[in-house]
């Protein structure tokens, strides 16, 4: 097994980096744990994952008079999750900086970089969620009606629930993710603060602070200012093509090391964005 300049095997570094990211996604991330992880469906060499969905099924009477049953309206379609995001967190560590540092800069980088990667990944997913909400009738991109159109009201949350109900979205695994500012405003509403204090809907995911109208209320710093998102777990999915790879490359002629944590993944809003409702200050 090959060793790097520090005497640590590349496989060991990869396992450590991946564990840090997985620990972050499981324990600290808010949005990623609330959506579908389809990594187990990725096959070697695959460029995408096909997520099938069906429609048109109906229950009918069984004919007993000898006549032929009419054909149903069964239809099948698929959403394609492309594995097209190749990202990294990188830096150069120069000999002078490393020699004069009180801490091991390489260890410090590989301790911090996976968490930075995971946070940025979560931000990318949230931006895609906002952009992916359906704008066909009935519109799933709505204007908040609270103070300055920057805070959702209970009526807004009820409307989001209704829109998901109309689309026959399952009542379980629904979430509303908001900014810290919106969280503070929502907790001034007695229905929400009382649920939070009484422990109704005890937290099942990181960031949960209350629950109302079937939505688990989450707070995340990755949510864009003056926006929030109501959605079902199946609104968006993600998958890893290649788990995190640490790189520690000596560049002797430059007097430095190139360090990086790279990952290959993808994410996709499913079902034409009908399983989520986006809120902003303008409704457009």
Number of domains in the chain: 1
Domain-located, residue 155: yes
Distances (CA, A) of 38 to 32, 92, 158, 175: 12, 34, 30, 19
Domain-located, residue 159: yes
User: What is the pLDDT, as a whole number, of residue 241?
Assistant: 85
SS3 96: helix
Of 6 and 145, more confident? 145
Domain-located, residue 75: no
Domain-located, residue 231: yes
204: confidence class by pLDDT, cuts 50, 70, 90: low
In angstroms, the CA 208 to CA 235 distance is: 18
Distances (CA, A) of 150 to 21, 146, 180, 204: 32, 6, 12, 27
Q: What percent of the chain has pLDDT over 90?
A: 60
pTM here is 0.83
User: What is the pLDDT, as a whole number, of residue 14?
Assistant: 60
29: confidence class by pLDDT, cuts 50, 70, 90: confident
Q: Give residue 205's domain range.
A: 136-235
Domain-located, residue 147: yes
Domain-located, residue 225: yes
Domain-located, residue 54: no
Domain-located, residue 210: yes
């Amino acid at each position: 097994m090959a060793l790097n300049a520090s005497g640590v095997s590349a496989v060991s570094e990869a396992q450590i980096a991946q564990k840090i990211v997985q620990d972050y996604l499981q324990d600290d991330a808010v949005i990623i744990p609330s959506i579908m992880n389809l990594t187990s469906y990725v096959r070697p060499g695959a460029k995408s994952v096909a997520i099938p969905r069906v429609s048109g099924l109906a229950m009918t009477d069984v004919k007993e008079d000898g006549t032929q049953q009419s054909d149903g309206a069964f239809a099948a379609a698929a959403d394609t999750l492309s594995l097209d995001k190749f990202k990294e967190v990188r830096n150069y560590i120069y000999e002078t900086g490393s020699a004069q540092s009180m801490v091991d800069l390489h260890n410090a980088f590989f301790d911090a970089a996976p968490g930075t990667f995971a946070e940025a990944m979560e931000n990318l997913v949230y931006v895609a969620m906002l952009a992916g909400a359906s704008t066909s009738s009935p519109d799933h991109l709505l204007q908040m009606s609270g103070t300055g159109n920057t805070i959702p009201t209970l009526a807004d949350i009820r409307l989001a629930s209704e829109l998901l109900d109309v689309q026959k979205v399952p009542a379980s695994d629904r979430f509303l993710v908001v900014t810290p500012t919106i969280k503070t405003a929502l907790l001034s509403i007695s229905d929400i603060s009382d649920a939070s204090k009484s422990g109704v809907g005890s937290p099942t995911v990181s960031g949960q602070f209350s629950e109302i109208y079937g939505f688990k209320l989450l707070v995340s710093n990755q949510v864009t200012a003056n926006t929030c998102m109501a959605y079902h777990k199946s609104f968006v999915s993600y998958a890893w093509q290649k788990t995190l790879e640490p790189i520690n490359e000596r560049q002797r002629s430059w007097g430095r090391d190139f360090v990086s944590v790279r990952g290959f993944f993808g994410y996709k809003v499913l079902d034409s964005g009908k399983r989520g409702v986006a809120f902003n200050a303008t409704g457009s």
